[in-house]
Structure 1
Amino acid sequence: MPRLSRLLPLLPLLCAAVLAGCAERPPSAETPAGSAGFPVELRPEGAPAVTIEKRPERIVSLSPSATEVLYAVGAGPQVVAVDSASTYPEQAPRTDLSGLNLDPEAIAAHDPDLVVVESDLDGRLTGALAKTGTTTLVLPAATSLRAAYDQFELLGRATGYPDEGADLARRTRTEIQKIVRETPEPAEPLTYYHELDPTYYSVTSKTFIGQVYGLFGLVNIADQGDPDAASDYPQLSAERILEADPDLIFLADTHCCGQNAETVAARPGWDTLTAVEHGRVYPLDDDIASRWTPRLVDFVHAVSTAVTEASR
């Protein structure tokens, strides 16, 4: 007891010293990396606003594009499950979950604190998961390059990597602008046909994909003179394509449907097309040509290569 009585007068000084020591420590010593900045309110374009109270530690991604961006901003270690269509990156924990047929029970089984989806009709998934304390972030398909960059930044903020998200958007934008700037301009506008599948479904210039081609001033035969007159993903006829005789053909059905320059040339009458005769049929990676991710740079580079070769 005498020893304790001697220490009692020193307790205020000891506490002050401890507090001073804590104050001198850098924030990273007390706060886990990426945990600062919460709660954060997010307002994705075309979807409900959502508030994330704290850094998510268990993320389920049911959007292939979101999956790629999550890993690109550094949130990969927080991802515990992705949908069956999320094929990139290779280390993503793929499951049989579907981003189209949403199953709240199957999703909740992964014990997520954040779920990212492309759509949630009537908010049914959001409502069901909210009962388990899980936040749902809806990120609709990007409709423009600007919208894609915004989603890079938003996913960075949602996961505790705001600086990384902003940097990813900046770097992707800069690389794409550089590619477009350094691509030679053809003497006359070039026409193109973008194929989604062998039944001749295509895209108009209004779509995200069509806007990428628009960076190079290419003329889309699927617009048929007016991109507002058709659906965003019209089905063309073989006769229409042969009549339009595009300068360039881009195949976004190489993985799904095994299409290539040889199969295109073998189609009735297609061997007479300008693009086929001049070797301007360009196979694309189906995923890269359809997702709004940092790999957009690869898609833009492929289009640049085609325009450069056609301009010689």
Structure 2
Amino acid sequence: MNGKLLYYWITCPDVRRESIAFIILLILLTSLSGCSEERGSPEGSLVIKDALNRKVVIERAPERIVSLAPSVTEILFAVGAGDRVVGVTKYCDYPEEAKERAKVGDITHPDIERILSLSPDLVIAHRLNDIEVIKKLDELGIPVIALEERSLEDVMESIELIGKITGCEENATRIVERMRERIKEINESVQRRGVRVMVVVWHDPVWIAGGETFIDDMIKICGGVNVFEDVRGYQIVGYEKMIAKDPEIIIVMRDDETGEIPYEAIMKDERLSSISAVKNGRVYMIDADILSRPSPRLMDGLEELFKIIQEET
């Protein structure tokens, strides 16, 4: 995952219950590049080099799309291709219309038979989906594209790519332009830089967002310094390291299942009481969906992060 493996751990209960060993194994698989595209043969087709380093040929704009990740579903609806989405995972809960689509299982183990029953002409996956499922669908002649976003730039490239694939390129371009404008406005509004920030994506054990993640990008845009920018991707950190880094602000992610548990885990742990953020009551919660899903809604998370960091300066 480099920047995003824990995205699914954060937002999906079943994935959070997967073993840490499995997550660590995935972290080792971070060297592959994101997607690129080029026009190829036959004339008018689109050749995609995806996050699994596979070349996928899209011969025409898809009419029946299955999404295997909540972020992909959000992007598809955002660019205007929601009416062509016929299947999603059980965690695809935004926008509301997505809840009405047929469910094809969870993220790590989607149901191949259920996917096939929907007769898709394109499946858009994430690099964290079961590789065997992707291989099987490919063998059956169904185009599958795997995405991966390590940075905010990657997120915007995924939006543009999905727009291009679906024939909604103008809408995608407008979304990305708005995102760039919001990023520029927020960054230019920063009054003070250098505030030490730590983002906790899971609390037991403590997983943090390190460098080379879009969360790290967001911290920097808002004038903060990620105290774990020297750590690549998402990693478990011990209390000693947290104390040594002494963040001035700690952000924890909140969802419907955990509620305030992550917040209380940080605030009430005596071992962390000497940390500036804890001592001064500067531990905050942000909705996991707008801080961890690589979709246009990251801009909502960016604005919340900006308010927290700049109010504290």
Which TM-score band applies after superposition, normalised by the shorter structure? Answer: 0.7 to 0.9
Distance 1:276 1:161, change over 3 A: same
Of 287, 296, 299 in structure 2, the residue corresponding to residue 297 of structure 1 is 299
Q: Could you tell me which residue of structure 1 aligns to residue 26 of structure 2?
A: none
Q: Could you tell me which residue of structure 2 aligns to residue 13 of structure 1?
A: none
Distance of 1:303 and 1:210 partners within structure 2: 11
Kindly indicate whether the alpha-carbon contact (under 8 Å) linking 1:264 and 1:270 is maintained by their aligned counterparts in 2.
Answer: yes
Q: Could you tell me which residue of structure 2 aligns to residue 246 of structure 1?
A: 247
Distance of 1:237 and 1:59 partners within structure 2: 42
Kindly indicate whether the alpha-carbon contact (under 8 Å) linking 2:182 and 2:299 is maintained by their aligned counterparts in 1.
Answer: yes
What letter is aligned with 2:243? L
TM-score, with normalisation over the residues of structure 1? 0.77
Q: Could you tell me which residue of structure 2 aligns to residue 108 of structure 1?
A: 116
RCO higher in 1 or 2 (8 Å CA, sep ≥ 6)? Answer: 2
- Sequence identity (%): 29
Distance of 2:274 and 2:127 partners within structure 1: 43
Larger Rg: 1
Of 160, 168, 177 in structure 1, the residue corresponding to residue 175 of structure 2 is 168
Output one character per residue of 1:14-37: Cα deviation in whole Å (capped at 9) or x when no partner: xxxxxxxxxxxxxxxxxxxxxxx9
Q: Could you tell me which residue of structure 2 aligns to residue 206 of structure 1?
A: 212
Q: Could you tell me which residue of structure 1 aligns to residue 270 of structure 2?
A: 268
Q: Could you tell me which residue of structure 2 aligns to residue 136 of structure 1?
A: 144
Distance of 2:271 and 2:128 partners within structure 1: 44
Q: Provide the secondary structure at the position in 1 that maps to 2:243.
A: helix
Distance of 1:165 and 1:97 partners within structure 2: 28
Q: Could you tell me which residue of structure 2 aligns to residue 85 of structure 1?
A: 91
Q: Could you tell me which residue of structure 2 aligns to residue 119 of structure 1?
A: 127
CA shift at 1:168, angstroms?
Answer: 1.3
Q: Identify which range, 116-125 or 199-208, moves more after superposition.
A: 116-125
Kindly indicate whether the alpha-carbon contact (under 8 Å) linking 1:207 and 1:232 is maintained by their aligned counterparts in 2.
Answer: yes
Q: Identify which range, 151-160 or 263-272, moves more after superposition.
A: 263-272
Q: Provide the secondary structure at the position in 2 that maps to 1:284.
A: strand
CA shift at 1:211, angstroms?
Answer: 2.0
Distance 1:267 1:53, change over 3 A: same
Structure 2 stretches lacking a partner, 5+ long: 1-42
- Is 1:281 aligned with 2:283? yes
CA shift at 1:124, angstroms?
Answer: 4.4
Q: Could you tell me which residue of structure 2 aligns to residue 51 of structure 1?
A: 57
CA shift at 1:256, angstroms?
Answer: 4.5
Distance of 2:144 and 2:45 partners within structure 1: 15
Q: Identify which range, 90-99 or 109-118, moves more after superposition.
A: 90-99
Kindly indicate whether the alpha-carbon contact (under 8 Å) linking 1:193 and 1:248 is maintained by their aligned counterparts in 2.
Answer: yes
Structure 1 stretches lacking a partner, 5+ long: 1-36
CA shift at 1:282, angstroms?
Answer: 1.6
Distance of 1:46 and 1:211 partners within structure 2: 24
Output one character per residue of 1:32-89: Cα deviation in whole Å (capped at 9) or x when no partner: xxxxx95333344564232222221111000111111000000001001101222211
- Is 1:151 aligned with 2:152? no
What letter is aligned with 2:200? E
Tell me how large the CA RMSD over aligned residues is.
2.5
Of 55, 66, 71 in structure 2, the residue corresponding to residue 60 of structure 1 is 66
Q: Could you tell me which residue of structure 1 aligns to residue 184 of structure 2?
A: 177
Q: Could you tell me which residue of structure 1 aligns to residue 81 of structure 2?
A: 75
Q: Could you tell me which residue of structure 1 aligns to residue 237 of structure 2?
A: 236
Distance of 2:83 and 2:266 partners within structure 1: 42
Distance 1:278 1:235, change over 3 A: same
Greater strand proportion: 2
